[in-house]
Chain A
Amino acid sequence: MSDQSFADKAVMDFPRRDAHDKVTGRTRFTVDIGGSEVLHAALLRSDHASARIIKLDVEPARKMPGVRAIATGSDVPGRYGIGIADYTLLAKDVVRYHGEPIAAIAADTLEQARAALDAIELELEPLPASLTMADSLAENATLVHPDWQDYEVLFEGGVRGGNIAWEATVERGDTDAAFAREDVTIVEGFYEVGRQSHVPFEPRAAVASFEDGRYHIHASTQVPWTVRTVTARVLGVPESHVRVTVPTVGGGFGLKFDASIEPCAAVLARMTGRPVSIINSRREEQMTCLSRENAEIRIRSAVTSEGEIVGREATVLMDCGAYGGEQVFLTTMTTHTLGGNYKLGAVRICSRAVYTNTPPNGAFRACNGVYNTFALERHTDEIADAIGMDRMEFRRRHVLGDQDISATGQVYDGDVLAPMLERMEVLRAKSGSRKDLAGNRFYGEATTVGTWLIFVGPSAATVNLNYDGSATLVTTGVELGQGTMMQALPQIVAANLGIAPEDVIVKTADTDAAGRDLGVGGGRTTVSIGAASEAACTVVRDKLLGVASEILQTPKKDLVLARGRIEIKGRPGSGTTIQQVVAEAESRFGPISGSGSFTTPPFECMPGCTAGHFIDAIEPVFAVHNCELAIDPDTGKVDILAYRVVQDVGRALNPRAIHGQIQGGVVQGFGYALHEEITINETGAFDQTGFENYLLPLATDSIPVEFDLYEGAPAVGPFGTKGAGEIPILNVAAAIGCAVANATGKQVSSMPLTPPKIAALIDDCNPPLQHDHISPVWSENTIERK
């Protein structure tokens, strides 16, 4: 638990230490590691969505110039995954998606490695492919993993079967009874969203070497410990034989929350005895991106005339692609996001990760929360319309408040959403309507709410108080650009030790140096690593004050740490420097250091209502977004006129950095909602192969986001802070989708809203969504439980 007296000291706009090198081009990312000793590897990838490997002869490639080693499936035999070990690193016997790696070649130059790929003799015999979830759920569908039952289960409790990689359900209360009530209106909606590609500027990359019998991987990753575990699994070596270090990472957004090419680099390094670099080309990165998944959603609600949601049921199909990956875990999130925002009577939700013969998906900033919030908020507007209530009024009355229970029956503390809605009204009034900017175009506005969670889990930290009065923080946190390692963490440590944040050195991630950590993502770093760091500081402070108390002949409780000194309370200048106390400590018992750790606090849910969930109860984080936009009926193009955010941050440790996260996250959301589209063609490949046709937001597509940071909501993080990097994208699709519906008067049920889609909407040319593979009977969409 944080000492709140340090909180004020922790709050500041501390600048980033890495800014100078980044702006002068000196920063070395993983892709910049090089030199003549480094070999370069390229991957042979499948150009079929589903096929049997009839022939794979790599011998001709060995004779090609510069080739040093070739790895195939038998060199990396172990299976891995999240929840279930269904993943192989290099395909053996069959390929399950277009782009699946089959072999890896290390050569003196990248050109040589690529040229040698052409010499591999590969014959694939096409097999039937399931390219859509409808295909995969059809009767007699071909199984993407016929051997699914034989896979090792890594997390108990999941229900699965056939093409359902994983299923998570929550059932609380008597939903049938709620829907049978006479006094309710029943509202039903279908929604559908496409994939989103992260496009971090640094692609996935790894440089591995084999040193003293151990693998050392420099990886561009968010999860050094996952890379360590997965590498050990696939290579069949003890985890302790793998060391992962992480240089500065050039963006992740969730793409790097899983291992991918790192073990390939490792095995080639062992084979050659040389460092081996693997860097995905932009085309490879784009075409095998572990995207935010496409999904299909059906929601049904029973609502009284007052808007009380007495019953709700939902089915969410999430395309996990050819392997389960993150989607297995993310099925859990549906309950907390689609099941969030509003007070619910009885509820049942089923979330299924469905195998298809398409590139596997992954985690992307606020993950499935983004589209579940879109579906939920569109559905909420439809409910309000159906019962004739103003859309804002509905939200004001029915958002979750103090002591309300969540979908899983967890009791939430504090009124947060309702006051945030009020703050939005104030923000909206302050800047005024932009309706006049719409001119002759259609004008629309919407305000939406969203629920996300702090994805906590284990973290470890060690703080060494150095002889010179500086401190070194050792964790396996990673700097992706979000600033946590440069700003929030040194601020937290500095405030706790009474030193300047400039004097806190934050060590870059090294699994040999720090304890285990779940990884950087989900908005967890400031909270989990921050809390672990704070715990480490408590140990350090205790040792420090113990020695100081003897030197100054004053009880510990009367001592304060500030500006590098230890003073007697109320008598500035009376004490001594930290440096002197450290010197004294060293002569008595040695250098001062301390370790701390953190893990998910025991939130409680209603026992027995969930199945297949990785997390039953959460610390919620909320957001309220407002959007005003104009639509050109000639083109279907959307012009965002105003965008406003009220965000639950707990406590804003570095308001300027949070501003950066909000502006960046919202603009990524603009891309998701409006023009970042991925379509899958009949070969199972993405049509969008690079920046020419995967349309990222440009400077001309952004506007300055107006925001208000909502502080003071209950929070477990240090100084009451909550993660701020993940959530800014959460309700963007929802706010834009609802505003487009408002502007056009049409039913908006899919994302992205590209200009052709909106034109078709205006022309009434979009066929209504139909998901025949989602049964109207909720229980038929779940696997029978024993």
Chain B
Amino acid sequence: MADLPNRLERPLSVAAAIAALSGKTNKVVPVAGATWIMRAGSRGEKIDGTFVDLSAIPDLSDIDVAKDKVSIGAMATQDVIAKGLAGHADMAALMMATGYTANPAIRRAATIGGNICTADFAASDIVPALLALDAEVEIVSPDGTSLMSMAEFLSTRRSLGRAVLVTRIVIPRRLQASTHSRITLRKAGDYPVANLSAAITVAEDRTIRTAAVAVGGVEPVAKRWTGFENALIGRNLESGEFREIAGNYTDEFEGRDDTGAPGWYRVRLLPALADRAFRFLTKSTA
């Protein structure tokens, strides 16, 4: 069957991968952990196009935890990230979003790059974690390398073009502590109905100096919860009442109806998620 187009390429460098992605006339698909792509059949789609497998590119999967920033290669898998970030309180949101989600076998396969590049995936745990941590996304295209904020990446990811790769995630280490909470319909194993990542810095007197809160699963794309964030600034962490405060700002969300859970239910979970996250942060910063 020599006339068939080559259905899988294994470039050995990012440049070669970009070339492989741009040079073709047929459909081409970058492949990371393949855990989304290979489920095409169960979405009623077909596996199609030439796979450009990124797994042979060196350096794309390492993690560098430096004093001022954490840098994670796009091909780093969930389990490797969770292990690499263990013990860093500021990175707890991402550690939890990678280490306590999906299931063990998937955590060994699914990558951070593949996760955030899946635009149709509303329930990602990693996306809100990166939003709350103010992460930046390194992108390589035929025009060169650039860095953009998570928010910008989320709003442009569908239109970046075919020859664009996410190569690295960079997280500045400005924050003190973070966390990720999520609610699934079973105890574990399914996608979260709603999730919430929060990252804060706290003054000596326990007042909240900065707060970043991001919510996933509720709307088609995760987003920051700005009203709630603003209301937290200047509050004493010990004074609690996170549930009540969060309850005042749930109208920032319009829940999505989807198999498994209606939109109103996803929104209903937010105060409880906020409460869990901030009770955790109260403890972890004590």
Contacts and interface: CB of A to CB of B under 8 A. Distances in A.
Does chain A bind chain B?
yes
Interface of A: 281-283, 634-637, 675, 677, 679, 687-690, 692-693, 695, 697-698, 700-701, 754-756, 759-760, 763
B186 A697 contact: yes
Contact of B42 (A283, A695, A701, A760): A283
Given A282-B42, A689-B42, A756-B261, A698 B268 contact: no
A178 B74 CA distance: 74
A759 B268 contact: yes
A690 B42 contact: yes
Contacts of A756: 261-262, 265
A689 B187 contact: no
Interface stretch (B23-31, B188-196, B201-209): B188-196
Nearest to A681: B259
Given A695-B185, A763-B268, 18 more contacts: A282-B42, A634-B271, A637-B185, A677-B260, A687-B259, A689-B43, A689-B44, A692-B191, A698-B189, A700-B188, A700-B189, A701-B186, A754-B260, A755-B261, A756-B265, A759-B265, A759-B268, A760-B265
Contacts of A689: 42-44
Given A634-B272, A755-B265, A693 B189 contact: no
A99 to B, nearest CB: 12
B41 A281 contact: yes
Given A282-B42, A635-B272, A689-B44, A695 B259 contact: no
Contacts of A754: 185, 260-261
B265 A283 contact: no
Nearest to A639: B187
Contacts of A634: 269, 271-272, 275
B259 A679 contact: yes
Interface residues of B, number: 24
A294 to B, nearest CB: 16
A689 B275 CA distance: 34
Nearest to A755: B185
Interface string B35-57: 00001011110000000000000
Contact of B259 (A688, A697, A755, A760): A688
Contact of A693 (B183, B259, B262): B259
A698 B259 contact: no
Interface in B166-192: 183, 185-191
Nearest to A281: B41
A108 to B, nearest CB: 14
A704 to B, nearest CB: 15
A565 B78 CA distance: 64
A692 B42 contact: yes
Nearest to A47: B44
Interface in B244-272: 259-262, 265, 268-269, 271-272
A690 B44 CA distance: 11
Contacts of A281: 41
Contacts of A282: 42
Contact of A700 (B187, B260, B261): B187
A692 B193 CA distance: 13
Contact of B260 (A637, A693, A701, A759): A693
Contacts of A679: 259
Q: Chain A interface mostly helix, strand, loop or mixed? A: loop
Contacts of B186: 675, 695, 697-698, 700-701
Nearest to A754: B185
Nearest to A756: B265
Contacts of B275: 634
A199 to B, nearest CB: 14
Contacts of A692: 39, 42, 190-191
A-B CB proximity, top 10 nearest: A634-B272, A700-B187, A756-B265, A687-B259, A690-B42, A693-B259, A698-B189, A700-B188, A756-B261, A701-B186
Contacts of B261: 754-756
Contacts of A635: 183, 269, 272
Contacts of B265: 636, 755-756, 759-760
A755 B187 CA distance: 11
A689 B44 CA distance: 9
Contacts of A693: 259-260
B41 A695 contact: no
A281 B187 CA distance: 28
A281 B44 CA distance: 12
Interface string B222-249: 0000000000000000000000000000
Nearest to A287: B44
17 contacts: A283-B41, A635-B272, A637-B185, A675-B185, A687-B259, A688-B259, A689-B44, A692-B191, A695-B185, A698-B189, A700-B189, A701-B186, A754-B185, A754-B260, A755-B185, A756-B265, A759-B268
A237 B154 CA distance: 62
Contacts of A637: 183, 185
Contacts of B41: 281, 283
B185 A701 contact: no
A635 B273 CA distance: 10
A209 B275 CA distance: 63
Contacts of B268: 759, 763
A637 B262 CA distance: 15
A695 B271 CA distance: 25
A760 B265 CA distance: 8
A634 B269 CA distance: 7
A568 to B, nearest CB: 62
A156 B81 CA distance: 67
A692 B192 CA distance: 12
Contacts of B189: 698, 700
Contacts of B191: 692
A698 B268 CA distance: 25
B188 A698 contact: yes
Nearest to B190: A695
B146 to A, nearest CB: 34
B194 to A, nearest CB: 10
Given A695-B185, A695-B186, A698-B187, A283 B259 contact: no
A571 to B, nearest CB: 62
Contacts of B269: 634-635
Q: Which of A689, A755, A763 has the most CB of B within 10 A?
A: A755
Contacts of B187: 698, 700-701
Nearest to A689: B42
A636 B265 CA distance: 10
Nearest to B261: A756
A634 B193 CA distance: 13
A685 to B, nearest CB: 10
A677 B183 CA distance: 18
Contacts of A700: 186-189
Nearest to A763: B268
Nearest to B271: A634
A547 B146 CA distance: 94
A758 to B, nearest CB: 10
A599 to B, nearest CB: 44
B179 to A, nearest CB: 17
Contacts of B188: 698, 700
Nearest to A690: B42
A677 B186 CA distance: 12
Contacts of B260: 677, 693, 695, 754
A763 B269 CA distance: 13
B221 to A, nearest CB: 19
Nearest to B39: A692
A759 to B, nearest CB: 6
A679 to B, nearest CB: 7
Nearest to A115: B46
Interface string B271-286: 1100100000000000
A703 to B, nearest CB: 11
Contacts of B44: 283, 689
A637 B43 CA distance: 27
